[in-house]
Amino acid sequence: MVARGRREHGSGLVNGGTAPTGGGAARGGAAAAPAAAPAPAVPAVPPAALRGSRPSSRVLLVGAALVLALLAAILASVALGSQPVPWPDVLAVLREPGTTEASAIVWDMRVPRTVLGLLVGIALGVAGALTQAHTRNPLADPGLLGVTSGAACAVVLAIHVLGVTSPSGAVGFALVGALCAGGIVVVLSQRIRVLAPGVTLVLTGSIVTALLASVTSGVLLLDRTTMDVFRFWSIGSLVGRGPEVIWTVAPFLLLGLLLAVVNAPTLGALELGDELGVSLGRHVVRDRLIGLLAVTLLAGAATAACGSIAFVGLAATHAATRLGLGGPAWRIPVAGLCGAVLVLGADVVGRLAPATSEIQVGIVIALVGAPLFVVLARGYLGDRS
């Protein structure tokens, strides 16, 4: 009886309750069940960042393939064109520039064109990924912020009022117009609190875009000369942009890329919504302003340099999503690489496609990028359903 009472007393201590008396156990007619052993402690799950700190073999393989594709696009852009130059001559003039015709074609025409296409492709790809992350809309595009329409309106006014005719002369006006339009959209979207921030941003951008497009259309309809000059800028082209255009837009592109790098770690929290972002300790308004400023700088500088090039931000971001190399932070650099491959590849196709002249890169991307985007979007939506 003593041993039985001790077992019950030990059971009560193990279970965290009061020890029952021996008499109560006897009245129950049965001995108390032995205490169960405590469950082993479950190890804490490491954070997602720690779980993904070591890249898998698939990530390394896909990343290496993407870098190789970019290198192939750069080499093709330097070596191929409407004026054929043998590959040994291309290598020779790259090693030692001279005064030959091959050197003039490679260094004066193709190398600046390749550098500009690389910068513009990276800028539009990164801007597209940032836009979709901040609006939480897989169909969003940098042009949704009014940047493209602002640049176009400024160029039209510069041609009509000041008589600007060259692409290099229109770069400064396009950049100012893009930055002003993007700034107006960002400021207005932050002051309107009726709808969700992403929806408000999209609607504000659509309204500003429609307003600026109406001004542009009105000027073009009234002045045929302005229309003739503007149509060569509006289709999107890398032709006729010398090193001075690159040096003009490069500081804005670099600043936009720097802001994108700063903003990338915050995208995971922002994609969950403002409430959850605040609960995770993020300053949502500041993070969104940094991201939208990066989009304005990147898309505005790219549009100012080459004109309006559609579908790059959309297609590059969906390609980065389909590759699945990581979360929102990793999607930014991957989208930039995909955008560069798309722009350089489309430019090479435009040089080689016709027999007499070149097709501008904006037209090639519109023809190739639209079906590509439909395929990528169908796959993305199919995975979500």
- Chunked mean pLDDT (size 10), the chain, 385 residues: 42 42 42 46 41 60 89 92 84 83 87 93 93 82 85 90 80 88 85 72 87 91 85 81 87 93 83 64 78 90 88 87 78 92 92 77 83 66 55
pLDDT given for residue 122 in this prediction: 95
Q: Between the CA atoms of 305, 306, 309 and 312, what dihedral angle is there, to the nearest 10 degrees?
A: -70
Distance CA 331, CA 53 (A): 16
pLDDT given for residue 277 in this prediction: 61
Distance CA 169, CA 381 (A): 43
> What are the CB-based long-range contacts (under 8 Å, 24+) for 260-265?
260/126, 260/130, 260/291, 260/294, 260/298, 260/332, 261/332, 262/290, 263/130, 263/287, 263/290, 263/291, 263/294, 264/328, 264/329, 264/332, 265/329
pLDDT given for residue 273 in this prediction: 63
Phi and psi dihedrals of 43, rounded to 5? -65, 145
Q: Which helix (H) or strand (E) holds 321?
A: helix 312-323
Distance CA 319, CA 311 (A): 12
Burial of 323 (0-12, 13-18, 19+ CB in 10 A): buried
Question: Cβ distance 249 to 178 under 8 Å?
Answer: no
Distance CA 13, CA 11 (A): 5
pLDDT given for residue 253 in this prediction: 93
pLDDT given for residue 245 in this prediction: 87
DSSP per-residue string spanning 95-134: HS--SSHHHIIIIIIIHHHHHHHHHHHHHHHHHHHHHHHH
